[in-house]
Amino acid sequence: MRYAAVRLARAIGYLSAGTVEYLYDPARAEFYFLEMNTRLQVEHPVTEAITGIALVEWQLRIARGEALDLVQEDVSFDGHAIEVRIAAENPAENFRPETGTITLWAPPGTVRLDSGVEEGSVVGHHYDSMLAKLIVHGADRDEAIRQAVAALDDFAVGGVGVNLAFQRALITHADFVAVAHYTASLAEMFPCGWTAPVPEDETRALAALALHLHLAPKPDTPWQSLGAWRLTEAAGRPAAAYYSSDDADAPIRVVGRGARLKVIMPDGTALGVEVARLAARRLIGRMDGAPFARRAHVLRSGERWQVHLSAPAGMTMVPLRTLEDRHLQRASGAAGGADTLRAPMPGAVVEIRVAPASG
């Protein structure tokens, strides 16, 4: 492929940066020319990773009048690289674009990340939805996939929906691992469409615990260290706090105080928690005697809380509301009514099929 690309560029006398694309048939070990773009494309970090050549830097240096200090024979490939595009979109709803303000931006610090956003950045609908490119480089393809999965599992974004979970499902799919690619890959890999993984009970319990610890009074003074629940709880009865998801009325209860807590799930299952601590974006402790350590990010988003927690299926966001949140939402009618219309993305009203005062 590289030899053919160089021949093509020389044949047309092209002397600048360019990208040649091919389709590869692994069954026949043959490749077919697709197109050439007279520029670097968004995937150029993959080439930079396996060649060790900073292509963008060289473009700028050549534009300044410098000469290349290498020839074609000096270019060699090392290992395998994968680029993952992080986009503000909802893959579970036909990749619907997402908009809003980024309230949490916690990328992994161990791999290359090309991005122009940060916490506080506003993602609008006027531009492409791609927010960042995550690039990994390994000795071979399997190692590159493992690095990509590990990086995605350590990546948390809040305030705007992104495709992190979908990208993880894609690169861990058996077809992708087996290099079984074709033009209808997504339709074949996810024939019923892709759906976001549902947090398992342990992750939901730990999410409620993380929020509980986040909201717990900090013992800066003796009055704060005593806690607020002691004024209203019945004598001899442990304090309890209630947390629920948006789609479930049955709450998760966190009972107790201090070093020993108990998380009671909606089905009545009780999980004993010891020495739990939330610090430096990590949730650690013991649950039913087994130690746990999860990456955890707790933030407020509108009328609810978001708990981003590392889980077996990757970084998972668990939406939670406190008992106070639920009462305030009901009192304000925030859920909307018959005269309220909520649109998931910006659009334009092109036709109203009703006449004034009709019906």
Per-residue pLDDT of the chain (359 residues), as tens digits, is 989 999 999 999 998 889 999 998 888 999 999 999 999 999 999 999 999 999 999 999 999 999 998 888 899 999 999 999 999 999 999 999 999 999 999 999 999 999 999 999 999 988 899 999 999 999 999 999 999 999 999 999 999 999 999 999 999 999 999 988 888 999 999 999 999 999 999 999 999 999 999 998 765 555 544 444 444 444 445 568 999 986 556 899 999 877 899 999 999 999 999 999 999 999 999 999 999 999 999 999 888 899 999 999 999 999 999 988 877 766 665 555 566 777 777 778 888 888 877 65
The residues spanned by each domain of the chain are 1-78, 82-196, 201-332
Residues linked to residue 134 through DSSP beta bridges, in sequence order: 84, 113
Q: What pLDDT is attached to residue 335?
A: 53
**Beta carbons of 47 and 54 less than 8 angstroms apart:** no
Does 82-196 match 201-332 in CATH topology?
no
Topology annotation, domain 1-78: D-amino Acid Aminotransferase; Chain A, domain 1 (3.30.470)
**How many CA atoms within 13 Å lie on the side-chain side of 170?**
20
Residues linked to residue 81 through DSSP beta bridges, in sequence order: 137
Angle between helices 141-153 and 164-171 (to 10 degrees): 160
Residues 30 and 28: their CA atoms lie apart, in Å, by: 5
**Coil, helix or strand at residue 297:** strand
**Coil, helix or strand at residue 287:** strand
**Beta carbons of 164 and 197 less than 8 angstroms apart:** no
Report the number of secondary-structure helices (H) and strands (E) in the chain.
Answer: 10, 19
Residues 6+ apart with CB under 8 A from 82: 46, 135, 136, 141, 144, 145, 147, 148, 171
- DSSP label of 347: -
Residues 6+ apart with CB under 8 A from 260: 272, 273, 274
Residue 345 has a CB neighbour count (10 Å cut-off) of 12
Topology annotation, domain 201-332: Glycoprotein, Type 4 Pilin (3.30.700)
58, two tokens:
């060289």
Catalytic residue among 35, 73, 118, 324, which? Answer: 35
Q: Mark whether 48 is an active-site residue.
A: no
**Span 82-196 CATH architecture:** 2-Layer Sandwich (3.30)
Q: What pLDDT is attached to residue 231?
A: 43
Residue 351 has a CB neighbour count (10 Å cut-off) of 4
- Measured over the CA atoms of residue 148, residue 211, residue 265 and residue 273, the dihedral's sign is positive
Whole-number Cα distances in Å, 13 to 6, 54, 161, 169, 242:
10, 23, 45, 43, 70
